[in-house]
Amino acid sequence: MSNYIMPLIVLFVIIYGIIKKVPIYDTFVEGAKESFDLVFKLFPCLLAMILSINIFLKSNIIDLFKFISLIPNQIIPMIIMRPISGTSSLAILTNIYELFGPDSALGTLASYIQGTTDTTFYIITLYFGSIGIKKIKYALWVGLLADLISITISILFINFIS
Amino acid sequence: MVNKIWGCFIIIGILYCLSNNNIEIVNTAILDSTKTSFDMIIKIFPVMALWLGIAKIAEVSGLLKKLSSKISIVLKYIFPEIPKNHESLSYISSNIIANMFGLGNAATPFGLKAMQSLQKLNKKKDTATRSMITFLVLNTSGVTIIPTTIISLRMMYGSVNPTSIVLPCIIITFLSTLSGLIIDKIFARFYV
């Protein structure tokens, strides 16, 4: 079933574009060009994150925290980084895929976390900053709690359902 | 924030290795990071280009707009403070639709527009309103239906079934967004 999702999206978007008389080829190319910009922005961040995560994880210091048995060690840097920086957590996600494979329990959990949370600090800084709001009241707490709930449900899901 | 955590990871890692006489591990970790990150960017690049291309068609053809008009009906229950047919509702729904398709970069401009028009309703210009915070919760709990970036990354790394995460993600997102909204309403009631 879920194998059909991607082809169907592509099919639907293309047909819709044709109906609306959009120059689909040109538009596709134009959109794809934007990836250059993104990739150039992403690379330095990716390098920086891989460097620090690599040193941190390979030092095995995380073994000291073995007592939190429900949360796999390798996921902890991702949980810390997720609300702060989207590209960083994407970098950590890619690293987990590279090391353990996307279908491993760890890869699946990381996919859930990346897919169901967002960069709370970034969004707050950007959105409130852009309109000059200084008193954000309880926004940060609600935002972080929402992230925490997503992560908790993801962990429960992987431990007890799938 | 990022600066401090980034530095901490490195310092803690190196100091721990020094204390264990494992300095060789740090050397490989530093050298490997260049190769690993380069390999990753080469893998991510074409996939991003692909989805941004598809997303552009959806945007230009008005598909995103069409979908967002469908969900604005639900929005008036989530945002009771926003007057009917206010422009901010259409920006909010466009932002949510873009997020649903995992198109974070398409979502941000709509999100900024939404905040600007919410600010027009704001009486105290330096203080966040209830609607603004509710909108933020919708964003941070990540209302993803199809996490395109994640699916494509899973493809790149040879997943047997890259889209297997979609249904669980929808369930988790639904539960967490719901609880986020409830927490938001509770905070809104008791915060003075």
- Residues B25-65 have pLDDT tens digits of 889 889 988 888 888 778 778 877 887 788 788 888 988 77
Question: B28 with B94, same domain?
Answer: no
Note whether A31 contacts B55, CB cutoff 8 Å.
yes
Residues of B in contact with A126 (CB under 8 A): 108, 111-112
* Domain that residue B166 falls in: 62-190
Mean pLDDT of A149-161: 87
E strand residue ranges, A2-160: none
Structure confidence at residue A28 as a pLDDT band (50, 70, 90):
very high
A32 at B interface, C-beta within 8 A: yes
B115 with B85, same domain: the answer is yes
Mean predicted confidence (pLDDT) in B75-103? 83
DSSP string over A96-136: HHHHH-TTSHHHHHHHHHHHH---HHHHHHHHHHHTT--B-
| Tokens standing for residue B21 | 């006489």
At residue B5 the predicted structure's pLDDT band, cuts being 50, 70 and 90, is: confident
Among left, alpha and beta (phi > 0; psi -120 to 50; other), residue A137 is left
The predicted pLDDT at position B142 comes to 67
- Please report whether residue B25 resides in a domain: yes
- Residues in chain B within 8 Å Cβ distance of A83: 140
Reported confidence tier of residue A67, pLDDT bands at 50, 70, 90: low
- Top residue of A1, A3, A13, A25 to mutate, by most chain B CBs within 10 Å, is A13
Residue A103 banded pLDDT, cuts 50, 70, 90 = very high
Domain that holds residue A75: 2-160
Residue percentage of chain A with pLDDT more than 90: 20
Q: Would you tell me which residues 117-146 of chain A have a C-beta closer than 8 angstroms to some C-beta of chain B?
A: 117-121, 123-124, 126-128, 130-139, 141-146
Contact B146 A98 (CB under 8 A): no
> Are A146 and B104 a contacting pair at CB < 8 A?
no
Looking at the structure, tell me whether residues B75 and B34 fall in a common domain.
no
Rounded to 5°, the CA angle B3-B4-B8 comes to 120
Residue B21 falls inside a structural domain: yes
CB-closest option in B14, B29, B169 to A115 = B169
For residue A20, list chain B residues with Cβ-Cβ distance below 8 A: 61-63
Residues of A in contact with B111 (CB under 8 A): 123, 126-127
State the average pLDDT over residues A99-126.
87
Instruction: Specify if B167 maps to a domain.
Output: yes
pLDDT at A83: 82
For A150, name the nearest residue in chain B, comparing CA atoms only: B176
The residue written with tokens 């047909």 in the block is A15
Is the predicted pLDDT of residue B1 greater than 60, yes or no? Answer: no
- B126 and B32 inside one domain: no
- Pick the residue of A12, A14, A46, A51 with the most B CBs within 10 A to test the interface with B by mutation: A51
The whole-angstrom separation of Cα A162 and Cα A101 is 17
- Per-residue pLDDT at A2: 55
Instruction: Specify if B55 maps to a domain.
Output: no
**Are B66 and B128 within one domain?**
yes
Q: Is residue B19 part of a domain?
A: yes
Tell me the pLDDT band of B112, cut-offs 50, 70 and 90: confident
Highest mean pLDDT pick, A13-27, A82-96, A126-140, B70-84: A13-27
pLDDT above 60: residue A1: no
Domain-located, residue B80:
yes
The answer to whether residue B56 sits within a structural domain is no
Q: Is B57 part of a structural domain of the chain? A: no
Residues B66 and B116 occupy one common structural domain: yes
**Judgement on whether residues B66 and B161 belong to the same structural domain of the protein:** yes
Please write down the long-range contacts of B61-67, taking CB distance under 8 Å and 24 or more positions apart: B61/A13, B61/A16, B61/A17, B61/A19, B61/A20, B61/A22, B61/A27, B62/A20, B63/A13, B63/A16, B63/A17, B63/A20, B64/B94, B64/B97, B64/B98, B64/B106, B65/B94, B67/B97
- A6-10, B12-16, B92-96: least confidently modelled range: A6-10
- Preferred mutation among B27, B33, B170 to probe A, highest tally of A CBs within 10 A: B33
Distance from CA of B180 to the nearest CA of A (A): 5
Inter-CA distances, A121 with A117, A126, B172, Å: 12, 8, 21
Output the pLDDT for position A27: 94
Q: Are residues B76 and B126 in the same domain?
A: yes
Q: Does residue B15 sit in the same domain as residue B89?
A: no
Q: What are phi and psi of B127, to 5 degrees?
A: -120, 140
Size of interface A-B (CB pairs under 8 A): 327
State the Cα–Cα distance between residues B160 and B155, nearest whole angstrom: 8
Per-residue confidence band for B101, with pLDDT thresholds at 50, 70 and 90: confident
Closest CA to B158 of A67, A101, A15: A101
User: Nearest-CA residue of chain B relative to A10?
Assistant: B54
- Same structural domain for residues B39 and B110? no
Could you give the percent of chain B with pLDDT greater than 70?
Answer: 95
- Point out the residue among B157, B159, B183 whose CB comes nearest to the CB of A145: B183
How far is it, in rounded angstroms, from Cα B42 to Cα B48?
11
Q: Are residues B94 and B21 part of one domain?
A: no
What residues 86-105 of chain A have any CB closer than 8 A to a CB of chain B?
86, 88, 90-91, 93-95, 97-98, 101-103
Backbone angles phi, psi at A135, to 5 degrees: -95, 105
Question: Count of domains in chain A?
Answer: 1
Q: Is the pLDDT of residue A126 over 80?
A: no
